[in-house]
Every structure is written in structure tokens, then in C-alpha cells.
Amino acid sequence: MTTDNDYHLAPGNVLQNMYLKKRLAGFTNSSMKFIELGPGNGYISNILLRLGLNGIGYDLSDSACNNNRSTNIEYIKSGTYSAVNADFFGISEQEKVDIIISSHVLEHVPTDELDTYFEKCKSILNKNGKIITLVPSSMKHWGIEDETVGHYRRFEFGDFEGIAKKHNLNIDNIAGLTFPLSNILFKLSNHLLNKSESWKKNLSKEEQTVLSSSGVKNVKYKTYFPSYFRYLINDITMYPFHLLQLLNRHNASSMVIYCEFSATTTA
């Protein structure tokens, strides 16, 4: 059971966020609006909010929304952010936004709904808006985590070329992340999940997805850590691994892919 004092950023999450912050700093401004899908505890939304953007986070888990609201309470109080317990596919047309971002969400979307996802994103993006995705990658690393959290797939670099071509999108940036650290920790991660999460194999993918949210899933030394770990796992201590992930950003064995699409034809 987690407490308010626990630390909730795993090494891979820190590395992903370091890369994301570097990218966002290059093109965001305070007039932009964003939507985050599946924000979990709200850490990525918090990165965007700290840059001055306004936004909304949609999550299928009510518990995750509550954690998100706690993380971003000051922005909710100021009216610049809201955490909504709803399915993005079910929301009605709304004001256009500049960024639609999702981290470890698209792997939960059935193959026949991926097209719907990208077309819906395009319909609510401003001109030159961006669709940003972070997804698990490298099918050779398919394992217990995928089988217990509702994954339909792990992505490969070539998948994004196909998506871009099919939906008339430009790939502005694509990079493999967390290599080699996640690869080194892969067996340990599988051991921790086998020990505490294997029972979820019997659930439907929909049930697994709701229970896999970063705001709900509780696996010690995987999704949460004793509070002192914040001094061991942070942007400063992880910087050498950040440099390694930059050097290896084209490595097909990277276990996370970051992709940034632009929809230059939207009105």
C-alpha cells in the first residue's frame, strides 16, 4: 500500500520525462493548450503546466484522476487545468488545442481503433498542432507486463512511418528511449511483476487497462519506492543515463519510443 510519502517515479519514467522536457522547451509557449490522455498521477501534465500551458487530463480511472488532482491542485484551483474521469473517444467536439499527448496509452487501444484515435486528434488540433506519444516498444521484449496491463502490442519504429503516411502527418521527431537502463532492469522488472501482478492475466484487457494506470498500479520498486529514493532517482543522478539514451535513440532494442507528429493541414 502506498502512502503520500512514497516516491512514484521509476528510473525509466525519469529518463522519459527528461527527454520530453528537452523537446517541449523547444517549441511550447504560454498561449498553448493541451490534452493529456491517461495522465495517471499527473506528472506529465505538471511538466506542461509548469511551462505555462493550460490543459485537460482524461483518464479512465477515477482513482488516477484523484491522484492527478492532488499533484496539480494549484493549477486546478487557478482554473488552468482539470482532471476528468472520461473516455477520450466519447468526448464531444470542443475547443481546439495545440498538443495532444499520451504516455503509455496507445498500446491499450485496439488495432481497429487506432485510426479513429488519430483522426479524432487531428479534428481538434490547431494548425501546426502536435500529437505526442510515448509507447512501449520492441516486440522481442513482450512479457509479463504486457500480458497483465491490457497491451495489444509493443510498437516498432516502422509503425510510426505507417501511421504518418496513413493519416497525412509529419514525424517531427522520433527517438528510442531508456536504452540501455530499462534493458538491464528488464529481468528484475519481470520478476517483480510475476510476483505481484500475474493474477491479472485472467482479467479482460479493459479491466487490465483500468488497473494499470500509474495512479492505481502499486508494485514496490516498480511503480513506487520508499521516499528516500527521490535522492537516488532524479534528473541529476540519472543524467549519465540520459546521455546514453540520446546516443542510442535509434537503437531498435529501445523499450520506449517517443514520437512527435505534426498535423500541418488542420484548420
| Cβ-contact 148, 137 below 8 angstroms | no
Q: Note the pLDDT of residue 244.
A: 98
pLDDT of residue 231: 95
Quote the pLDDT of residue 221.
Answer: 86
Helix axes 11-24, 43-50, angle to 10 degrees: 30
Give the model confidence (pLDDT) of 50-85 as tens digits: 999 999 999 988 989 999 999 999 999 999 999 999
Q: For the full predicted model, state whether its pTM sits above 0.85.
A: yes
Asked whether the bond before 180 is cis by omega within 30 degrees of 0, the reply is yes
Residue 6 has pLDDT above 90, yes or no: no
pLDDT of residue 255: 98
> How far apart (Å, rounded) are the C-alpha atoms in residues 182 and 195?
19
pLDDT at 265 over 70: no
pLDDT, residue 93, reads 65
Judge whether residue 35 has pLDDT over 50.
yes
Please state which of the four CATH numbers 3.90.1170.50, 1.10.510.10, 3.40.50.2300, 3.40.50.150 is assigned to the domain occupying 11-263: 3.40.50.150
**Structural domain boundaries of the chain?**
11-263
Mean pLDDT of the chain: 92
Closest CA to 259 of 176, 180, 141, 181: 176
Q: What is the pLDDT of residue 209?
A: 84
What is the SS3 string spanning 178-226?
CCCHHHHCHHHHHHHHHHHHHHHHHCCHHHHHHHHCCCCCCCECCCEEC
